[in-house]
Amino acid sequence: MKVIILGAGQVGASVAESLVSEQNDITVVDVEPARLRALQDRLDLRTVAGSAAHPSVLMEAGIEDADLLIAVTQSDETNLVACKLAARMFNVPRRIARIRATEFLDDPKVLGPDGFDVDLSICPEQVLTEYIVKLVEFPEALQVLDFAGGRVSLVAVRAYQGGPMVGRPVKEIRGHIPNIDTRIVAIFRRDGAVLPDGDTVIEDGDEVFCLAASNNIRQVMKELRRMDQPVKRVMIAGGGNIGLRLARALEADYSVRLIEHSKRRCEALAAKLDRALVLNGDATDEELLGQENIAEMDLFVAVTNDDENNIMSCLLAKKMGARRVVALINRRSYVDLLQSGQIDIAISPAQATIGKLLAHVRRGDVVAVHSLRRGAAEALEAVVHGDRESCRLTGRRVEEINLPAGATIGAVVRAGEVLMAHHDTRIEAEDHVIVFVTDKKTLPRVEKLFQVGARFL
Amino acid sequence: MRLPAVLHTLSLVLLLFAGSMLVPLAFSWAYADGAQAVYAKAMGITLLAGAALWAATHRAGRELQVRDGFLLVALVWTVLPAFATLPLLLQLRDLSFTDAYFEAVSGLTASGATVLSGLDRLPPSLNIWRGFMIWLGGMGVIVLAVAILPLLGVGGSQLFKAETPTPMKDTKLTPRIAETAKGLWLVYFGLTAACLLAYRWAGMNWLDAAMHAFTTLGLGGFSTHDASYAHWNSPRIEAVAIVFMLLAAINFATHFLAWHRRSLRLYRVDPEAKVFLGVVVASILGIAAFLAWKGVYPDYATALRYAAFNVVSIATTTGYANTDYNLWPIFAPLWMLFLCSFASCSGSTGSGMKMIRAQILFKQVFRELLRIIHPRVYNPVKLGGQPIENNVVFAVLAYVFVYVSCIIIFTLLLALSGADVVTAFSAAVASINNTGPGLAQVGPASTYAVLNDFQTWVCSFAMLLGRLELFTLLVVLTPAFWRK
């Protein structure tokens, strides 16, 4: 597939990175040649320097025969204009734009065919905010992902001594919680994936991925670790776009404190927030943290745009007694360095936001994609089409399906009903199937399963 | 400062004011009360004075600067009452100029304090003139509050502009002051007409209905009867009065926008209206319970009726009464006086320091408290979700300081000249808030005629000061204002 990516910022770069590895022809456009050079040195792709909204630049990037345009420059306006040009002048079939301002989203006409002609709009800040809000709601989880319109959740939990299932084989979970249907789809132990079967024993420190109906995930987590007190007090370091969105999302139900170092930004924040407390100062200032009772905080979230700052303030907050600390970290090497250390959760913005984009790039009718464990694993939800003849899934039992190693069918959603996949579950047409893939290399083979054969078309 | 230009504008206002005397003239003619000649004479004098002033100043430029606005407003509210005394003085031969001026100021500031008794025996047209003064005053006040004061920025009144305190987008009513005034007056006319018909439906005769519609919308408490609303002793009439008093005490810009957009949502968005209504309703329920508990009324329902009418009347700075609440245990009338000092919304015909200032003050207190606990916190005072700049908060603080000082000074002046403490305090509060009746000697069953001349002038000045939002009048009295 020929893909043009506009903007070589954090999102652009990570999209490029994950698409290059899946045999696509990528062209990246950016005004900043230095950024492009850095990208080109690292990845096998083409780059064009210039303004992403200029038709001549787009033509140079080969837009005339592109299959997909991903406009993720810093500016909403540039992204919108590029999408419009791509649709009207160059007939690009699919166009994705990053839109930050919610004003553009209020009326569907703005992004519709008569407006800017955007197929899909993504807002990384919003995705990250939702990610962190989930962590506030489920303080025991490392990550909570929704499928099938929120009916099914995939939850990542670290197993700890004290959970009834720790030290027990996977198959016993049915006996522990007989009326709840759940499925352990993967276990990561010391950075390696373990493919769980019924006899795999869950160990202390394992990162366990479970699928369950959304309203049951608390009970499932209870089996794997002792439950924490619900979160009441949250401190957010950094009042940028994410900090503000997060504070707004949380201020109604939690006691929120937001630390921002710029006085001018503080004024703007205070104007937009009703109940959250806006504090002027540095999140690495020990005195300020002490004054604001950091020891009483259930959650400390560092979301400034500076990795080092986030790491240091989280380490400081943890040392001063914050119950759980979450840091936003862009640099991949830092994430690997810190996960499961002093910092409870390190969130990589690029990885967290890329899923929505990936769903559009995948072959087959893919509804949702979530990139997990820094892109090493992936969970995807796809719709099955066709009959027994044209599709390799329809009408077959799970045990009959020829899945590549490392891939697991976790659950099936049929007409709104959630079924956990067992070896004898039969897949039918129009089912939403949730597949967990621990090895990304096998992804094309999984996608192929969902494609309908030529005869069907 | 361009005095001639200011005087020129004043002359035009005077000429218009002369025209307004046609209203009592028409009533006099219709009711054949024999006072036609009085209004013709008063109108003639006013016209003559206006024309003379116009002739003397018409060569002056018409351009007014913002600063001239203070002087113009102060002059309008001090000179018009002098001419408004004419119909009173020409008919009531034993009325002194001091008392007549007080009555006229009370009318044009929409206060409703009166020195007259035997109202039932006055010619109908004179009562209409008293009511019409209040109505005119209310019209002036609306424009003053919505269009002029924000321009002058008096005591934080930048906020009175309907467009600032609410999160509504493009709430600027219309781009020009003249258009804004027209829109607001239209609402005012409409509500007056509705009030007139409602009173008539509730059982008043046309004359009383007209007079009380004027004084209800202007929120000044003149009545055609010494007994005020006790004359009818009708819960239905009282209910009509309560509804329209409450409406008149809400920002007219909100009414205008609500009518313009056919949406009641605006009342919910208006940060003042909901607090105003909440405070008034809570006070009614509380005072009714208090009165029932103290045994003033045999049952809660009766207590509720009297509490509702009198609390609304005083809280909205109207000044009607349907009973002598002076006889209630002192807590209730004092609470009502307390309400009148802040409950009315900005941009209404009510007076006092206005709900918006009270809210800012209240929030500023909590802001300071929060700052003690969290020294690094950023928490601007917010109204309707919008942050308010510090200089506005300071202006409000200064305003409230001057307001409280004025109450103390007027109380002392009245006490100095011989009034007892309750009379002095309540007269000072009722005057500066343009409420009308106070307590004790100036209570609802009595009149301000008991005051001596000095005290009457003090109260007249207090009413003007309160109506012109203190600073508008005070700035004209400072030497710096007159320096070139």
Higher pLDDT, B221 or B369: B369
Is the CB of A271 less than 8 angstroms away from the CB of B382?
yes
Check: CB of residue B184 under 8 Å from CB of residue B420: no
C-alpha to C-alpha distance for A259 and B379, rounded to whole angstroms: 13
Tell whether B74 is covered by a domain: no
Helices (H) and strands (E) in chain B, counts: 21, 3
Contacts of B370 in chain A (CB under 8 A): 277
DSSP string for A100-142: --THHHHSHHHHSTTTT--SEEE-HHHHHHHHHHHHHH-TTEE
* Residue B157: predicted pLDDT: 63
Q: Reduced to 3 states, what is the DSSP secondary structure of residue A396?
A: coil
Closest by CA position to B245, among listed B198, B303, B315, B339? B315
* Residue B162: predicted pLDDT: 41
* Residue A436: predicted pLDDT: 87
Contacts of B377 in chain A (CB under 8 A): 277-280
Per-residue pLDDT at A315 exceeds 70:
yes
Kindly state which CATH superfamily the domain A140-224 is placed in. Regulator of K+ conductance, C-terminal domain (3.30.70.1450)
pLDDT (tens digit per residue) in B287-333: 999 999 999 999 999 999 999 999 999 999 999 999 999 999 999 99
Per-residue pLDDT at B163 exceeds 80:
no
B228: left (phi over 0), alpha (psi -120 to 50) or beta: left
Q: Using a pLDDT cut of 70, give the percent of chain A over it.
A: 97
* Residue B61: predicted pLDDT: 67
Q: Which two tokens stand for residue A84?
A: 């419009």
Which of A143-152, A352-361, B99-108 holds the top average pLDDT?
B99-108
pLDDT confidence tier of residue B429, bands split at 50, 70 and 90: very high
Whether A270 has its CB under 8 Å from any CB of chain B: the answer is yes
Pick from B375, B379, B386: CB nearest A278: B379
Per-residue pLDDT at B161 exceeds 70:
no
Q: How far is B314 from chain A (nearest CA, A)?
A: 34
* Residue B154: predicted pLDDT: 64
**Would you say the CATH fold of A352-450 matches that of A140-224?**
yes
- Strands A233-237 and A255-260, bridge-based pairing: parallel
Per-residue pLDDT at B23 exceeds 90:
yes
* Residue B153: predicted pLDDT: 65
Tell whether B424 is covered by a domain: yes
Task: List the alpha helices (DSSP H) in B219-270.
Answer: 235-248, 252-261, 265-269
C-alpha to C-alpha distance for A222 and A217, rounded to whole angstroms: 9
Per-residue pLDDT at B436 exceeds 70:
yes
Is the CB of B377 less than 8 angstroms away from the CB of A278?
yes
What CATH number does the domain located at A352-450 have?
Answer: 3.30.70.1450
CATH class for the region spanning A2-122: alpha beta
Per-residue pLDDT at A147 exceeds 70:
yes
Show me where the domains of chain A are located. Answer: 2-122, 140-224, 233-347, 352-450
* Residue A190: predicted pLDDT: 78
Whether A271 has its CB under 8 Å from any CB of chain B: the answer is yes
Which of A174-178, B179-183, B465-469 holds the top average pLDDT?
B465-469
Whether A291 has its CB under 8 Å from any CB of chain B: the answer is yes
What CATH number does the domain located at A233-347 have?
Answer: 3.40.50.720
Whether B452 has its CB under 8 Å from any CB of chain A: the answer is no
Residue A162 has a CB neighbour count (10 Å cut-off) of 11
What is the average pLDDT across A243-269?
93
Q: How far is B173 from chain A (nearest CA, A)?
A: 24
Pick from A270, A288, A292: CB nearest B380: A270
Instruction: Average the pLDDT over each of A434-443, B5-14, B216-225 and give the range with the smallest value.
Output: A434-443
Closest by CA position to B150, among listed B137, B139, B165? B165
C-alpha to C-alpha distance for B238 and B320, rounded to whole angstroms: 10
What's the pTM? 0.80
Per-residue pLDDT at B369 exceeds 50:
yes
Whether B483 has its CB under 8 Å from any CB of chain A: the answer is no
pLDDT (tens digit per residue) in A25-37: 899 999 999 989 9
What is the average pLDDT across A405-411?
84
Is the CB of B387 less than 8 angstroms away from the CB of A267?
yes
* Residue A416: predicted pLDDT: 79
pLDDT confidence tier of residue A457, bands split at 50, 70 and 90: very low
Whether B387 has its CB under 8 Å from any CB of chain A: the answer is yes
Report the mean per-residue pLDDT for chain B.
Answer: 88
φ/ψ of residue A71, rounded to 5:
-100, 105
Tell whether B320 is covered by a domain: no
Per-residue pLDDT at B52 exceeds 60:
yes
Tell whether B227 is covered by a domain: no
Nearest C-alpha in B relative to A258? B377
Pick from A270, A288, A291: CB nearest B379: A270
Is the CB of B378 less than 8 angstroms away from the CB of A291?
no
Whether B263 has its CB under 8 Å from any CB of chain A: the answer is no
Closest by CA position to B413, among listed B453, B469, B473? B453
Tell whether B300 is covered by a domain: no
Per-residue pLDDT at B181 exceeds 90:
no
Whether B169 has its CB under 8 Å from any CB of chain A: the answer is no
Tell whether B430 is covered by a domain: yes
- Strands A299-302 and A233-237, bridge-based pairing: parallel
* Residue B400: predicted pLDDT: 92
* Residue B170: predicted pLDDT: 37
What is the average pLDDT across A451-456?
58
Nearest C-alpha in B relative to A264? B378
What is the average pLDDT across B232-248?
94
Nearest C-alpha in A relative to B390? A267
B210: left (phi over 0), alpha (psi -120 to 50) or beta: alpha
User: Which of A106, A251, A279 best probes binding to B when mutated, by most B CB atoms within 10 angstroms?
Assistant: A279
Element (H, E) at A235: strand A233-237
Per-residue pLDDT at A46 exceeds 70:
yes
Contacts of B389 in chain A (CB under 8 A): none
Q: How many domains does chain B have?
A: 1
Tell whether B464 is covered by a domain: yes
Residue B437 lies in domain: 386-482
Higher pLDDT, A53 or B174: A53
Contacts of A278 in chain B (CB under 8 A): 377-379
* Residue B254: predicted pLDDT: 87
Per-residue pLDDT at B171 exceeds 50:
no
* Residue B57: predicted pLDDT: 86
Burial letters A21-30, b for 16+ CB under 10 A, else e:
ebebbbbbbb
C-alpha to C-alpha distance for A313 and B265, rounded to whole angstroms: 45
* Residue B169: predicted pLDDT: 33
Q: Reduced to 3 states, what is the DSSP secondary structure of residue A345?
A: strand
Is the CB of A280 less than 8 angstroms away from the CB of B376?
yes
Higher pLDDT, A448 or B134: B134
Q: How far is A265 from chain B (nearest CA, A)?
A: 10
